Each structure stands twice: as C-alpha cells, then as structure tokens.
C-alpha cells in the first residue's frame, strides 16, 4: 500500500517536468517582432515565420530567433549632387524604413539582417543616396524646390525598387532642406521675391485703379440720381405752379359759385327752420286750450311770415348784389365796346372827309382842264418838258466816254438825241391824239391871231382837213 503513493507522486513529478519543459519550449512573438524558427519541415526553405502568435520550438530540431518589425528613422544627407543644369546641390532628409508585412519579406530580411540588424541604417542610407543622385540628375533646381513631394515620391519609388529582395521597405521619405554652394537657390529666392513684389505692386495698382473706377461709377450714379431727383423736383414744382395758377384763375369763379351755394343753402336752412318752427307751433297749439288756439295760430303765422320774409330778404339781397356785380361788369364791357365803336366811327368819318376833299379837288381840277382844254393841256406838258428832257439826258450824263463808229462823227449823237425826242412826240400822239409839236404850233398860231375862238375854229378846220 505504501508503494502506490510513491508511483503517483512520481507520475505527478514527471507530468510537471514535461509541462515545464513544454512551456519552456513554447515561444510567443511580441506585437512589434516576428519569430523566426529554422528547421521546420512544413515551411518554405525550412524557415517558419510567426507574427502575432506562438509556436513550440523543439530542441535539437529547431532554432528560434526574434527580428524587430519596428520602424527606424534614418537621417539621410547628400552633397554635391548635380542637377540637369549642372548646379551642385545638397539635400537632407529623414527616411522611415521597416521590414515589409508579408512573410516572404520577413523571411528575406531575416536571411540578411537577423544577426546584424544594426546594419540596416547603413544599407538604407547607401540606397537612398544613390536614389537621390539618380533623381536629382533628372530634375532642375526649380523643380526640386517647387514640388518637393513629387521629388520625394520619385526618390522613394527608386529606393523601394533597389531594396526589393532585402525585405526592407521605405515607409516615408521627408526632405528637410535643399541648398547649394553657388547661391543659386538664394538668387532664385531674390528673383521670386522681386517677382512677387512686382506682382504685388501691380495687383495693388490694379486694385487702386479698380477702386477709383468704382468710385467714379458710384459718383456718376450719385450724380445721375441727383439729376433725376432734381428733374422730378422741377417737374413737381412746375405742376404745383400750374395748379396754383389754375386755382388762382378759377378762384373768382369758385368764389361766385361758393357765394351762390351759400345763398341757396341759407335759403334752404331758413325754409327748414320755418317748417320746423311751424311744426313746433302746431304742436304747441294742439296742447293749448281752445280759447288760445286762434291767438296762437295768428302768432305762429306771423312768426313764420317774419322768418320767411327775412330769409327771402337775405336771398334777394345776395341775388341783387350778384346781379349788380354782373351789371357792373357788363356796363364796363359795354363802355369799352362803345368807346371802340365811336373811335372807329370817327376814324371812318375822317377818312371819308379826306376822300371827299380829294374827290372835290380832282373834280375842280378836271373842270379847269375841261374849260381850258388844249391850253391847259399844253401848259401842263410844257411845265413837264424840263423833267422829260432831264430823263432823256440822264442816261447820257452817266456815261464817261462815248466812242462813235460812224462816218458822220459827233453829228451822229445829235441825230440820235433828235430821234429820241421825235419818237417821244410820236408816243404822246398815240396816247392823246395830238402831238406835242402840233399843240405848240396851234398855240402859237392862236396867240398870233389874238382870238381864242378863232383858234378854236381854226383847230376845228385843221382837224377837219
């Protein structure tokens, strides 16, 4: 019976020892590392990768080691890299590198850096310097400065290609500074600053110009608004003046119409008062005794008559005033018309008197001419002969020089003048029936005989012949 507990204790001890041994051989990978187990027949290349889990490592069969999956920040610097313009530049940056997440990349990294993880920064730095030189040689300084993100992404792309097969991967590459020893970038900055300053000055000038233009437009709008307001005010003032003028013109008519309305209204009011008084008196009469009825009726009738008479008197007075005003206006108008008519009549009488005097004078002159007959006519013609001669000679007097082309010479001018007088005598004979020479001859003949009557008979004899 004593042997049974010993066996049990021994089995327990063996079990605990087995469990302790198994626990000591069970390896768990931390979140920031991967467990590399060599000697595994079930894995590619005999290397098993455990990430975020655990595995039993058999003694004498497997070898287990850990590799870090944490990101490493590695400073990268490069100087003397030449751009496409031949300008040497210096670039400084930070690259974040890690082991890739897939098992093949972890297995590759374990193969290269499992026992020498300290070499990772050096390898990455060499790869990055080469990639930087390659990309810088393809870009200009302006492109490097203007678009750093594009520059960094291209460098990262080339570097990842170079690191392929090592299990490493560039997570982030950040460029911290770009400089050169030739002050090319500084001069670019000055040029850019000058361009920016120029553009700012141009923009400021444009803004000021636009502001002035807008101010001018606003001022023009204000002036237009003020002009429109002034025109409206003037139109309103004109309308008010026209309305006042019309009101002033219509005021007399309105006053007359108002007076007429007042008279009519007062008449109507008086009649209404009389009617109401009649009703009141009728009511009072009905309430009085029969003995006072007759006296009350007489008093009411007298009162009504008096009120009516007063109303009619007032109405007649106003009507008479209006009629008198109208008669006065008509009298003034009639007086002006009478005055104008009398003045016209006096002017007509004066004109008639002047005409009659002139007619009487002409009649007397005609009677004198008829009485003296040819003697008067001859006397009139003789009195006009100097004027006739002057009229004939006036054209010749206005001539400075006369050139006569004729065989008779200056005698031709005398003949022309005599011809003109002879033609005038013929014209006179055609109008009056007697020539000037005939009248003069008969006058001289009658003067020689000394008897006018004989002259008359002689003239008759001559006319008959």
Calpha distance 48→44 (Å, rounded): 7
Asked whether 34 and 98 are in contact (CB, 8 A), the reply is no
| Out of 65-79, 241-255, 276-290, least confident range | 276-290
Beta bridge partners of 54: 28
Tens of pLDDT, residue by residue over 212-233, are 888 888 888 888 888 888 888 8
pTM above 0.85, yes or no: no
Tens of pLDDT, residue by residue over 383-441, are 666 776 676 666 666 666 666 666 666 566 666 666 766 676 676 666 566 666 776 67
Position with higher pLDDT, 258 vs 151:
151
pLDDT exceeds cutoff 80 at 175:
yes
pLDDT of residue 462: 35
pLDDT of residue 91: 92
Length of the chain: 465
pLDDT of residue 409: 60
**Encoding tokens for residue 230?**
């002034």
Asked whether 70 and 32 are in contact (CB, 8 A), the reply is yes
Domains in the chain with CATH codes: 3-65 (no CATH), 71-182 (3.30.479.30), 385-464 (no CATH)
> Average pLDDT of 37-65?
77
Tens of pLDDT, residue by residue over 324-335, are 777 777 777 777
pLDDT of residue 434: 64
pLDDT exceeds cutoff 50 at 463:
no
Tens of pLDDT, residue by residue over 21-47, are 666 677 888 888 888 888 776 666 678
Number of neighbouring beta carbons within 10 Å of residue 166: 19
Cα 94 to the chain's mean position, in Å? 64
pLDDT exceeds cutoff 60 at 256:
yes
> Average pLDDT of 70-76?
91
Return all residues near 176 (Cβ < 8 A) that are at least 6 apart.
92, 93, 94
> Average pLDDT of 115-134?
89
> Average pLDDT of 188-195?
72
Q: Which pLDDT band holds residue 1 (cuts at 50, 70, 90)? A: very low
pLDDT of residue 94: 93
pLDDT of residue 183: 82
| Helix pair 374-397, 290-372: axis angle to 10 deg | 80
pLDDT exceeds cutoff 90 at 75:
yes
Q: Are strands 63-68 and 54-56 parallel, antiparallel or unpaired?
A: unpaired
Beta bridge partners of 98: 169
Q: Are strands 63-68 and 168-180 parallel, antiparallel or unpaired?
A: unpaired
The angle subtended at Cα 268 by Cα 265 and Cα 271, nearest 5°, is 150
Tens of pLDDT, residue by residue over 96-110, are 998 888 888 888 888
> Average pLDDT of 435-453?
62
3-class DSSP state of 170: strand
Q: What is the mean pLDDT of the chain?
A: 76
Position with higher pLDDT, 233 vs 20:
233
Q: Measuring CA to CA, how many Å separate 55 from each of 25, 48, 128?
A: 8, 10, 37
Position with higher pLDDT, 31 vs 453:
31
Q: Which pLDDT band holds residue 453 (cuts at 50, 70, 90)? A: very low
> Average pLDDT of 287-309?
73
pLDDT exceeds cutoff 70 at 275:
yes
């Amino acid at each position: 019976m004593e042997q049974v507990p010993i066996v049990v204790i021994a089995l327990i001890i063996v079990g605990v020892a087995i469990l302790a041994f198994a626990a000591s051989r069970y390896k768990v990978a931390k979140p920031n590392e991967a467990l590399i187990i060599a000697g595994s027949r079930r894995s590619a290349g005999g290397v098993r990768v455990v990430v975020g889990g655990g595995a039993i490592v058999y003694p004498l069969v497997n070898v287990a080691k850990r590799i870090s999956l944490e990101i490493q920040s590695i400073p990268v610097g490069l100087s003397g890299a030449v751009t496409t313009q031949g300008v040497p530049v210096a670039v400084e940056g930070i690259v974040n590198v890690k082991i890739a997440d897939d098992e093949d990349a972890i297995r590759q990294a374990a193969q290269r850096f499992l026992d020498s993880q300290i070499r990772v920064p050096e390898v990455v730095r060499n790869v990055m310097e080469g990639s930087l030189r390659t990309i810088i040689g393809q870009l200009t300084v302006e492109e490097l400065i203007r678009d750093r993100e594009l520059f960094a992404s291209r460098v990262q792309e080339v570097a990842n290609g170079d690191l392929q097969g090592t299990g490493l991967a560039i997570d982030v590459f950040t460029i911290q500074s770009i400089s050169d020893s030739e002050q090319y970038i500084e001069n670019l900055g000055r040029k850019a600053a000058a361009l920016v300053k120029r553009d700012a000055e141009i923009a400021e000038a444009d803004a000021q110009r636009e502001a002035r233009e807008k101010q001018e437009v606003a001022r023009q709008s204000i002036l237009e608004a003020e002009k429109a307001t002034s025109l409206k005010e003037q139109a309103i003032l004109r309308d008010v003046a026209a309305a006042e003028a019309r009101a002033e013109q219509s005021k007399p008519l309105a006053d007359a119409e108002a007076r007429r309305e007042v008279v009519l209204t007062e008449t109507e009011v008086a009649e209404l008062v009389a009617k109401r008084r009649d009703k009141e008196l009728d009511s009072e009469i009905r309430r009085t005794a029969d003995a006072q009825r007759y006296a009350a009726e007489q008093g009411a009738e007298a009162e009504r008559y008096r009120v009516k008479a007063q109303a009619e008197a007032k109405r007649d007075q106003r009507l008479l005033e209006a009629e008198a005003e109208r008669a006065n206006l008509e009298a003034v108008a009639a007086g002006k018309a009478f005055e104008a008519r009398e003045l016209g009549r006096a002017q007509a009488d004066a004109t008639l008197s002047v005409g009659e005097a002139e007619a009487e004078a002409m009649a007397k002159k005609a009677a004198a001419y008829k009485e003296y007959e040819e003697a008067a006519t001859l006397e009139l013609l003789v009195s006009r002969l100097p004027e006739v001669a002057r009229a004939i000679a006036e054209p010749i007097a206005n001539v400075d020089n006369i050139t006569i082309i004729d065989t008779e010479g200056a005698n031709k001018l005398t003949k022309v003048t005599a011809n003109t007088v002879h033609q005038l005598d013929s014209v006179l004979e055609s109008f009056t029936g007697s020539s000037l020479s005939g009248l003069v001859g008969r006058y001289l003949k009658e003067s020689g005989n000394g008897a006018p009557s004989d002259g008359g008979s002689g003239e008759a004899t001559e006319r008959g012949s």
